Chains A and B, each alone.
Chain A
Amino acid sequence: MLDEILTVTFLTGFLAATLRIMTPILIAALGEMFAERAGVLNLGIEGIMIIGSFAGFAGAYFTGSLLLGFVTGALAGALLGLAMGVLSIRLKANQIVAGLGIWILCQGLASFLNRGIFGVVSVRPSVSILPAISLPLLNQVPLLGETLFNQNIVVYLTLLAVPVFTFIFRRTSWGLSIDAVGEEPHAADAAGISVSRVRYIAVTFGGLMAGLGGAYLSLALFGLYTDDLSTGLGWMAIVVVVFGKWRPWWIVGGALIFGAANALQYRLQALDFPLPYQFLLMIPFIVTLVIVVIFGRGQKGPSALAAPYERSEL
């Protein structure tokens, strides 16, 4: 058994699978980072990913274009992010309860729409998944190159987004505004920044990213939609943000761990690993628990996280 695991084929396959599976978690986590740094805790991410994967699939199926599929998924996600914004910013709802509600609502809605549009059929409708693009030169790297640098465009774009986001938060006034309303909303307000506008933009963008991450599941990984496409990936994204201390590169590290846990589980199942498959399926959830216990302990996020903003009367 062990010699089967310690082969180059297994390891490169495992690494490639890790990259493929970490991507939706990473996309969603980067989006959630924006919302949380602005002070909005969106626990509806898992639900938004589910809707994103359905809307993305439906969009691609009916237009015949994967690009339009991703656009549909992202737009659906943005709409739900905006809804979370209205709940938490305008209605000052409890963000934990509101996020939960969005999660459950989306689960039902996706399943309902799926039955309504595609019916209950024995052969699921499918689309051909996003093709891999082999990077010239890099794919020549011995052993790893052929699998690691042979990914779809979204994987590359997501990794490219990381330094861009780092730059936005370090060097631009947008990033400064987001951190200001998340850390010191009263001071930001006094400095002439519209707290609710920045928060709306951040949480809507977070929803957009979660929708995109969901669309990735149906359009780049599976090529079809089922109700249980994203079992817990959205929740893992939320853990990744905490693990990543709300910083882009750390979040990549967190997503890598979760990608690896999921990939390991798939790979071991494919190998007929002598452990009941239910225990293999547990791996990512147990990893999440261990990580949140070790790294989530008393982690302090943005100081105004999950607190609605009200102007104090002076």
Chain B
Amino acid sequence: MQAYGALVYSAFGSVNGFAETMVKACPLLLAGLGVTVAFRARFWNIGAEGQIYAGGIMAAVVGIYITGLPAVVHLPLTVLAGAVGGALWGLVPGYLKARLKVNEVITTLMLNYVIILLAGYLIHGPMRDRASGITISPQLLQTAWLPTVIPRTRFHAGILLALALAVVVYWLLERTVLGFQIRTVGENERAARVAGVRVGRTIILTMIVSGALAGLAGAAEVAGLQHRLVDEFSPGYGFLAVAVALLGNLHPIGVVFASVLFAALLNGADAMQRAASVPVPVIFVIEGLVIVLVSARFFRQRSG
């Protein structure tokens, strides 16, 4: 009980606690929205983690090395670079699936390993801050920082962007032609084909959107929080995003609540560890259990 008390208090008990919860919710929400879009088309994108890294790397490159721009140009450019990075890393498995029928679970997963290693190489090699004793990149120029919204906390503008995008994704899925096509492909690919939906093109677009959202999560971490490229700046947010998306029932508004819940759990896990020495991996156990249970509850398959 003591442990749960510490969890709830640390997550919502103060302005700073609330801000810290939202700081953690931000990447989970953005990546969770990305996973949602892909899963709605029944494209099993397990690559959100890699797409986060691709976005973070691109945002860091633009934020560090493009100089002399005013913030009104530099900041949007940095954030956009993150989206483009994620979109490119999502486009590869999307293209392979749409055009060559290559299994996306395997490609998205392998691309995770590749880009995480690439990020490690960049931080230890060409992008390393030689002035620093540890292996991190130099700081992004201040013109590329996402501004702090609540003073004296780490609550940054990326969180507001994420919340706004939840509404945009809802609109995209429910009110646009692309959203209709995504849902149709997900519900019944054969029927979609018969109805004249270009399935391959839809899958590719789905993965561009999905990857861009995860890439934004990486950009928000880099430009809003770390202000550098650091080793393992995403400690598995992309995988947690799968649990978030499923728990949110693949509905953008549900995903908002699920991401805040998991963020509270993540922050709480630290507090729990201090108060009752519950180790951090418990969060993965909970995450896995959620996915397993949800798989049985919501994802019954059509019989063969």
Contacts and interface: CB of A to CB of B under 8 A. Distances in A.
A289 B100 CA distance: 13
Given A108-B283, A286-B114, A96 B105 contact: yes
B285 A109 contact: yes
Contacts, number: 161
A292 B102 CA distance: 7
A5 to B, nearest CB: 22
Contact of B303 (A242, A292, A310): A310
B113 A282 contact: yes
A164 B39 CA distance: 40
B106 A100 contact: no
A96 B120 CA distance: 29
A235 interface: yes
B121 A104 contact: no
A9 interface: no
Contacts of A39: 304
B57 to A, nearest CB: 13
Interface residues of B, number: 48
Contacts of B106: 235, 238-239, 288, 292, 296
Interface stretch (A129-137, A148-156, A216-224, A273-281): A273-281
A279 B120 CA distance: 10
The DSSP consensus for interface residues of chain A is: helix
Contact of B287 (A104, A282, A303, A308): A104
Interface string B114-127: 10011011001100
Nearest to B96: A293
A67 interface: no
B285 A235 contact: no
A185 interface: yes
A285 B304 contact: no
Contact of B292 (A105, A232, A239): A105
Nearest to A84: B292
Contacts of A276: 121, 124-125
Contacts of B291: 97-98, 100-101, 104-105
A105 B289 contact: yes
Interface in B76-119: 96, 100-103, 105-107, 109-111, 113-114, 117-118
Given A95-B301, A285-B113, A279 B281 contact: no
B284 A107 contact: yes
Q: Which of B125, B294, B295, B296 has the most CB of A within 10 A?
A: B295
Contacts of B282: 108, 112
A185 B304 contact: yes
Contacts of B300: 92-94, 308
A101 B295 contact: yes
A192 interface: no
Nearest to A98: B295
Q: Which of A87, A104, A282 has the most CB of B within 10 A?
A: A104
Given A94-B301, A96-B44, A286-B114, A115 B281 contact: yes
B155 interface: no
Contacts of A293: 96, 100, 102, 107
B295 A278 contact: no
B23 interface: no
A307 B106 CA distance: 19
A115 B103 contact: no
A128 interface: no
Contacts of A304: 304
Contacts of B105: 43, 96
Contact of B301 (A108, A286, A306): A306
A281 B117 contact: yes
B279 interface: yes
Contacts of A185: 304
Contacts of A101: 288-295
B295 A97 contact: yes
A91 interface: yes
B53 interface: no
A309 interface: yes
A116 interface: yes
B280 to A, nearest CB: 8
B287 A279 contact: no
A304 B300 CA distance: 15
A306 B296 CA distance: 14
A103 interface: yes
B281 A278 contact: no
A308 B304 CA distance: 6
A106 interface: yes
B262 interface: no
A235 B100 contact: no
A307 B292 contact: no
- Which 10 pairs across A and B sit closest by C-beta, in order of nearness? A105-B288, A108-B284, A307-B304, A101-B291, A94-B299, A101-B292, A97-B295, A111-B281, A310-B303, A104-B288
Interface of B: 44, 46, 96, 100-103, 105-107, 109-111, 113-114, 117-118, 120-121, 124-125, 239, 242-243, 246, 279, 281-296, 299-304
Given A109-B288, A111-B279, A297-B100, 4 more contacts: A93-B301, A98-B299, A101-B293, A278-B118
